[in-house]
Every structure is written in structure tokens, then in C-alpha cells.
Amino acid sequence: MIEKKYEFSGILRFNHWIRVVTMLVLVVTGFYIANPFLTPYVSGEPTNFMNALWRAWHIIFGFILIASTMVKSYLFIFDRHSRNERMSFFDFINPKVWIQQIKYYMLIGVHPEGRGIYNPLQFIAYFTIFVTLFVISITGLILHMHVYHDGFGGLIFDLLRPLEVWMGGLAVVREIHHITMWIFLLFIPIHIYMAVFNSVYGKTGAMDAIFSGYTWHKKKKKKK
């Protein structure tokens, strides 16, 4: 018998798609800022601030990404519906689950019934992505404060300036910011492939869960 299991709450799903949209916008606008690939439209005005417009959208969506990352971090630690995500840590440190998961990916075993919703490899991948999110957010704020010296940029300058020096200077910060973008670009196709693989091969509706919140599992028989 098959039963459905509620794994992702509405706020988790909404936060996920916010990150998807913001990452897409940030990648496109980031590429343009680094290497403008469009010719400004012809205008009778003496100036055309096309680069400034792209930078403005990059900044807006950058702060949206920072906010969504903070919300996700809070939910992971405190949200009642995120308990299944927290329980994945115990699967991560369980050698038996590791062996079962590797056999599953080699198509010689079944998917392990873990305590959480992420298998060990997923847990590592998502943990790495969130570390990367924090790195790209911090480096983005450092770059921001060197362009906008008043307001929020001036407020965080004294706080993040020592970190900038520790990283090796503004040029290095810019490179780290760029490299972390490529980590996301490499992660996204792998993430989509594995989600589809688990959904089709595992037949649990893992791909659908990010839309509906539910996955499907064989109901465990109660021991007499």
C-alpha cells in the first residue's frame, strides 16, 4: 500500500522558488556587469545608464537572495515542519545508510529508509550550497559597500572591511564572488538530474514534492 508523506511546507517551497528566480537573475545580470554583452539602445538623451540599470537589478535581487537565505536558515533551525530536514544529519553520520544509498545509485539496491528527507549525498550537496550562499552573500556585500558608501553600504563598511583584508583585498573578493557563481551553475543541472532520477527510479514523487509538498512511500507493515 502506498501512502503520501508531507515533507515540504508552503513556506519552504515558496522560499525554494524565490532562490531559483533570484539566482537566475543574478547570473544573467552578473555576466553583464562583468562583460556587457548588449549595445545600449539609441536615445536622444545625452546619457544612457544601461549598465547602471543592470547593476541595480543585480543589487535588488542580491538582497532578495540574502533575505531568502536568512529565512531558510531560520526555518532549518527552528521550524517545526523542517524537523525532517534536521533529522537528515543522523542519516549523514550513519555508515549503513551511506552503503545503502551508494548501492541505490549503482542500481543494485533499494533506497534506504532514512530518518530525514535527504540522503547523505544530498545533505552534503545542500550543506555545501548553503555555505556557498553565505560566501557569495558576504562577498557581494563587500563589493556593494565599495560602490555605495552611504546608507547601508556605509553601515557595514567597518564591519566587513577587516574580512575583506583577510581575504586578500577587493580583487580577490571579486574573484571569490565570481567562482561561487560557477559553483551554482555546476550544481543546478546536477540537482535537476538527480531530482528527476529519484522521482522516476525511486517512484516517490520527489520531483513533485517541491510543487505539492508531498512524496509517496510504501506503507510499512506493522509488526505483530
Q: Which regions of the chain does DSSP assign to beta strands (E)?
A: 2-6, 214-218
pLDDT in tens, 122-153: 888 888 999 999 999 999 999 999 988 888 88
Domain locations along the chain: 2-218
For cell 522521482, the residue is: 199
- Indicate if the pLDDT at residue 222 is higher than 60: no
All residues at 6 or more sequence positions from 19 whose CB lies less than 8 Å from its CB, including other chains:
65, 68, 69, 72
Is the domain defined by 2-218 classed in CATH 1.20.950.20?
A: yes
**Percent of the chain surpassing pLDDT 70:** 90
